[in-house]
Amino acid sequence: MVSPYGQMGNQDLGPPWLKPMLRASYFTPCSIHGDSNKSECNMFCLDCMGNALCSYCLVNHKDHRVVQIRRSSYHNVVRVNEIQKYIDISCVQTYIINSAKIVFLNERPQPRPGKGVTNTCEICCRSLLDSFRFCSLGCKLGGMKRGDPDLTFTLKGKQNRDPFLGGSESDESSTPKKIRKTHAFNRLMDGLSIYSSDGHSSGDEATTNISPSTPPLYNHRNARRRKGIPHRAPF
């Protein structure tokens, strides 16, 4: 039986929670906790795929995958480090806002691109950098609806067995136990070899820990004898 979170949507248009997340109403008072402070709905549960949540609702979503939706210029955004664990956001332009990299959820039409603009969003004509095709996740979804075979939300590379369950499978989890023990032993021995018997670093990992160098050998045979104190000749 295939996990419902691992199934693609209709026509392979992303995970089943993507459309509900894009269509949800955010930053409205919570219907349950509306009388409480900070009851604004700015969360979305990828497992329940219901309405937007407020911070008080999270108690009912323990161990669920929840992302926080934010606002920028009256548009909904999500941080890249949160959403890229679950979907491939390539071809979507990212922005830096308050020192955090974000992507917009839905399209932002721009009928008149700025002067000198050579690249625009394929769906809403928003001005973009040359290396991107879409201005938002919704616009990428629109591009996939057109049947572009090069577009996907499926994560690639070292992912777990279910690409839409989130997270990624570590290298150790896919490595046999015997090999992992061997690698761990080798790493331990490598770490011990860095240090000399007196506890000083050998200088391989950082210049700040280099121990004093050994002074050069001094050949006393070839060294000139120091002249004695000169004396005047007696009268």
Its pTM surpasses 0.75: no
Decide which of 231 and 9 is more confident.
Answer: 231
pLDDT of residue 220: 53
pLDDT of residue 218: 52
Q: If you average pLDDT over residues 125-139, what whole number do you get?
A: 95
Q: If you average pLDDT over residues 89-111, what whole number do you get?
A: 93
pLDDT band at 222 (very low <50, low <70, confident <90, very high): low
| pLDDT tens readout for residues 154-170 | 998 654 444 444 443 33
pLDDT > 50? residue 98: yes
pLDDT of residue 223: 53
The 3-class secondary structure across the chain, one letter per residue, is CCCCCCCCCHHHCCCCCHHHHHHCCCCCECCCCCCCCCCECCEEECCCCCCCECHHHHHHCCCCCEEEEEEECCEEEEEHHHHCCCCCCCCECCEEECCEEEEECCCCCCCCCCCCCCCECCCCCCECCCCCCECEHHHHHHHHHCCCCCCCCCCCCCCCCCCCCCCCCCCHHHCCHHHHHHHHHHHHHHHHHCECCCCCECCCCCHHHECCCCCCCCCCCCCCCCCCCCCCCCC
| pLDDT tens readout for residues 29-82 | 998 887 888 889 999 999 999 999 999 999 999 999 999 999 998 999 999 999
Q: If you average pLDDT over residues 97-125, what whole number do you get?
A: 90
